[in-house]
Amino acid sequence: MKIGYSVDNYGIKQWYGNGKLHREDGPAIEHPDGTKSYWLEGKRYTKEEWSYRCNKSKLKKDGMDDIDLDLMDQLGLLEGIILDYKSFKNTNKS
């Protein structure tokens, strides 16, 4: 994905991926007054929705399988800060 970053004359910072508003490590738009908005692939999300989607995507890239992802989703663990995959696997052993 081609990543870009810009700051306009009003001090508004914007991050892009493939020409669309996109950022996985923070808000894609930051205003000088502190207002932030979260975008992935040109679609706007609430902070909670954005966090969920980024966490799920990161865990999948780290090798988590769909069964574990579904379990974490059912437990509500994808909605906020979550354990890394290895920690989750170690706590899920029985």
Provide the 10 A C-beta neighbour count for residue 22. 19
pLDDT under 50: residue ranges of the chain:
81
The pTM of this model reads 0.67
User: What SS3 class is residue 87?
Assistant: helix
Could you please report the per-residue DSSP string of 14-79? EEEETTEE--SSS-SEE-TTS-EEEEETTEEE-HHHHHHHHHHHHHHHTT--HHHHHHHHHTTTTS
Domain ranges of the chain: 3-45, 47-91
Bridge partners of residue 21, in order along the sequence: 16
pLDDT given at position 11: 97
What is the β-pairing status of strands 13-17 and 3-7? antiparallel
